[in-house]
Chains A and B, each alone.
Chain A
Amino acid sequence: MQKKLLSLIILSMLSGHAMATSIEDKIDMLQDEIDQLKVKAAYAEKNKGGIEGFANNTTVGGYGELHYNNFSGDVPVGQTRAKDEIDFHRFVLFFGHRFNDWISFKSELELEHSNTENEGQVELEQAYLDFNFSEKLNAKAGIFLIPVGLINETHEPPTFYGVERNTIETRILPSTWWEAGVSLYGELAPGWKYQAGVTSSLAAEHFEDFSTKGVREARRNVSEAPAENFGVHGRLDYSGMPGLTVGTSVFSGNTGQDNDTLNADARLTLWDIHGRYSVDKFDLRALYAQGHLSDADKINTAFGFDEVASRFYGWYMEAAYHIWKNGEQDFAPFVRYEKWNTQADTPNNIVRNDASENDIWTVGANYWPHPQVVLKADYQKFDKPDGDKGDKRFNLGLGYMF
């Protein structure tokens, strides 16, 4: 029996040697076949109908942030300081669906301040179709974020420093800012990215609290919004060097919206120059933004405002240092200086609000236990009291994205 087995083994070995293809070659051929089958299977999965096909082409993501704000320091004469606050500021879900290899849908649905009974609201911040033609030319149509500044389009908590977003991209560039329209984007030349398009615009009759909020209140969020006027936007960025992005963006559109009381164009032009350089352990950001509004005097008269300015601006510089890294964990202290003036030039029919010109120093740190999860702490010192929230603030934050 043993002899028989031995001779069989020898025979099989001999015949193996005699064959043109070795075992290794055969495995190679089999692997090729398996690889081809994998591609076919993946393709079949993607094009499957029903619930499975839907699941394979549909993506879900989201982000959220919980904030604790402790207010202290001086408040303007006659005001009582606001109470400290804890707020699940943003809970966001992304839904996307790929129809084929060049058309997809992207959306962002947000619940602000946890419920809609107090200060909160449900907002559809993005809902657009994305047409990918080539690296050089793509188009989006629907509701999307206006491509201004650094924060407006990329605002997930693990991607920026500090519990609260910077003030310049809140009061001068009104982030988060979305409109409905069409936009083209792509690569102009290696390293150069562009975006340009036409969207809905703001409404002058809502320029409320201008000296503290800038143009924020005039955003209509594509909610039965006036569409007598449109705006155009453009952006150019250079990111051909690793870690470096420098660019500029502009939005310009009339905000009069054919209002009979106003009867003026009220053209708003917002522009910015921005830069980010993340090299080795350093992370540096800077941005300058400015706004121009025509017919500011008429806006004040028509709607009974006493704060609307014709020019406003702000800038900030921020430096962070990744002092400690261990695998996926990362710890980075940062410092930021911001300065702004929401009433740099005012029409003759209003008196400047002293609080419209202010600055903030912020020092703090971000700790990422995982690249998509962040814990934040910072301390802010305002030059002048920021309304009833005082001139000193301590903030704690928790954020995630997936």
Chain B
Amino acid sequence: MVKNTIATLACVLLLMISSSAQAIQQYLTSEQFLAEVYSNEPSKPQALWLNKETAKQVEKILGHAPNQMRQRYWKIGNSSAWILEEIGKEEPITAGFVVADGKIAQARILTYRESRGWEVRYPAFLKQFQGVQLQADDYLNQHIDGISGATLSVNAMVRMARLALYFDKLSRAE
């Protein structure tokens, strides 16, 4: 019985190995995200430039230097949309955030590349970010409940949420 099980498992494995596979999942393109957010009228992107001082603050939020000194974003009225990338465990997660009146209005996963922790794309998890604001110390004012087995992806999402709120604050100060 055990030998049969092993043989079946080996066959399944061989079949899976022979079919080329990829762990990368794109759930939403940037265009689709923006079209959803701005009901098919994405505004022209604007650019936020970091300086020495703000780059230092970004480094504090992310725990590493910013990926770029010029961050593109989209703006309509009081809301701004940000597409950010941050490494979960080994691979970058691409996420989109909409900030309205200094609060997160929407958080979405655009592309997920890790082999574990994909639960961060569940609406129940992402809904927690709605209404979250930045405290004076640049931490979120609400606790985000984690997902066991996806801690690093959850942490990456929290860092990106903090960054989106911080960028929004800078863009409004400009």
Contact = CB atoms under 8 A, between A and B. Distances in A.
Are A and B part of the same complex?
A: yes
Contact of B145 (A28, A137, A230, A243): A243
A245 interface: yes
B12 A278 contact: no
Contacts of A131: 13, 16-17, 21
A102 B22 contact: yes
A222 interface: no
Contacts, number: 98
Contacts of A138: 115
B22 A101 contact: yes
Nearest to B67: A38
B24 interface: yes
Contacts of A31: 68, 70, 72
Contacts of B119: 191, 239-240
B143 A281 contact: yes
A130 interface: yes
Contacts of A139: 13, 16
A182 B7 CA distance: 11
Contacts of A232: 2, 5
A141 interface: yes
Nearest to B19: A133
A104 to B, nearest CB: 8
Given A28-B45, A279-B145, A98 B90 contact: yes
A25 to B, nearest CB: 9
Interface in B1-44: 2, 5-6, 9-10, 12-13, 16-17, 19-25
A384 interface: no
A27 B13 CA distance: 49
A239 B22 contact: no
A154 interface: yes
A102 B145 CA distance: 29
Nearest to B24: A101
Interface in A3-27: 24, 27
Contacts of B20: 102
Contacts of B22: 101-102
B9 A327 contact: no
A130 B45 contact: no
A182 B147 contact: no
Given A101-B23, A141-B13, A242-B125, A198 B147 contact: no
A232 B2 CA distance: 8
Interface string B41-71: 0000101000000000000000000001010
A104 B21 CA distance: 13
A104 B122 CA distance: 26
A327 B2 contact: no
B12 A184 contact: yes
Contacts of A198: 2, 5-6, 9
A132 interface: yes
A102 B124 contact: no
A184 to B, nearest CB: 7
Contacts of B171: none
B21 A102 contact: yes
Contacts of A242: 122, 124-125, 128, 144-147
A133 B90 CA distance: 17
Interface string A159-195: 0000000000000000000000010100100110100
B148 A154 contact: yes
A134 interface: yes
B18 to A, nearest CB: 11
Interface in A136-162: 137-139, 141, 154
A119 interface: no
A102 B155 CA distance: 23
A135 B72 contact: no
Nearest to A193: B149
Contacts of B122: 190-191, 240, 242
A28 to B, nearest CB: 7
Interface in A108-135: 130-135
A233 to B, nearest CB: 12
Given A98-B90, A102-B21, 10 more contacts: A27-B47, A131-B21, A133-B23, A134-B21, A134-B23, A190-B122, A198-B6, A242-B145, A243-B145, A327-B137
Ranked nearest first, the 10 interchain pairs of A and B with the lowest CB-CB distance are A243-B145, A242-B145, A132-B115, A133-B21, A132-B23, A230-B2, A245-B148, A102-B21, A242-B125, A133-B16
15 contacts: A27-B47, A27-B70, A28-B72, A59-B90, A182-B6, A182-B10, A190-B122, A198-B5, A230-B6, A239-B119, A240-B119, A242-B144, A243-B146, A245-B149, A280-B145
